[in-house]
Structure 1
Amino acid sequence: MQGQILSSRYQIIEPLGQGGFGKTYLAEDTQLPGYPQCVVKQFNPSFNDPKFLDTARRLFKTEAETLQKLGNHPQIPQLLAHFEQEQEFYLVQQFIDGHTLSQELVSGKCWSQTKVIEFLQDCLNILDFVHSNGVIHRDVKPDNIIRRRQDNKVVLVDFGTVKEVVLAQTQLVNSTVAVGTRGYMPTEQARGKPRITSDIYALGIIAIQALIGVHPVEFQEDENGEFVWQSQANVNPQLAAVIAKMVRYHFKDRYQSAKEVLEELVNIQVTQISRSSKVEYTPTNILNLDEQNTAAKIAPGTEIVTQEKEVLETNNPLEKQSVINNYEEKNVSQTSPSKINSSYVAKTKQTQETSTSIKNTSQNNLTVKLKAFFQSETGKVVSVGLLIGAIATGGMYLFNDKAAKAQEQKRQGAIATLEELKNKKSYEECYQQTDSDEIKQAGISEEERLKIKGECGLSWAQEKASYNEFAEAFDIASEIDDKIPNYNKVQEYKEQWAEAILKQATEIYQKEGNLEKAIATIAQIKSGSSVKGKSLDLKQQWEEDYQKNARLFEASEAAISQGFWDSANSKAQEIINNAKQSHSFYWEQQGLGLKKQAETELKKLSEPNPPKNPDLPKPANSNSVPVADPPIPIKSDPKPEKPKQPTNPVIVEPPPPIDLCDGNNALITGDSCP
Structure 2
Amino acid sequence: MIEQVIAYRYRLLETLNQGSFGTTYLAEDTYSPDHPKCIIKQLKPDSNDPKFLQIARRLFEQEASILGSLGNHPRIPKLLSYFESEQDFFLIQEFIDGISISQELGADKRWPELKIKAFLHECLEIVQFVHGLGVIHRDIKPDNLIRRLSDQSIFLLDFGAVKQISRGQNQVMETTIAVGTPGYMPDEQIRGRPHVSSDIYALGIIGIYGLTGMKPVTFERSEEDEILWQDRAEVSPELAAILSKMVRRDYRQRYLSVAEVLTDLQQLPPQSARHIYTNTDTISSQYQTEPRSVLAIPKSIVNDREQSSPTQRSERALPHYSDPSQPNGSWVRDSCEQTVEIPSPQEHGVPRTSVIPPEKGTAPVYQVSHSRLPWLRRLTALKVMLPTTILLASAGVGSFFLLGSTEGDRRIEQMNQLYGQQKYADCIEVGEDAISAQATFEQRVQNSLAKCYLRQGQGLAEQAKWGEAVQIIAKVSDQSPFHWQAKQQLDQWSARLLEEAKRDYEVKGKLKQALAQVDQIPQISVVKGQADALTQQWQQTHKVNQQKIAAAKKALQAGQAEVAIATAQQIKTPEYWKKIADQVQKDAEIAIANRPTPEPIWEPTVDTPTAAIEDIDPPVYQPPEPSSPSYEPPASSTPVYQPPPSEPQKDVVNICPGPLCTE
Q: Is the pair's TM-score, using the shorter chain for normalization, greater than 0.5?
A: no
Of Structure 1 and Structure 2, the greater helix share is in 1
Please give the TM-score of this superposition, normalised by the length of structure 1.
0.39
Please give the TM-score of this superposition, normalised by the length of structure 2.
0.39
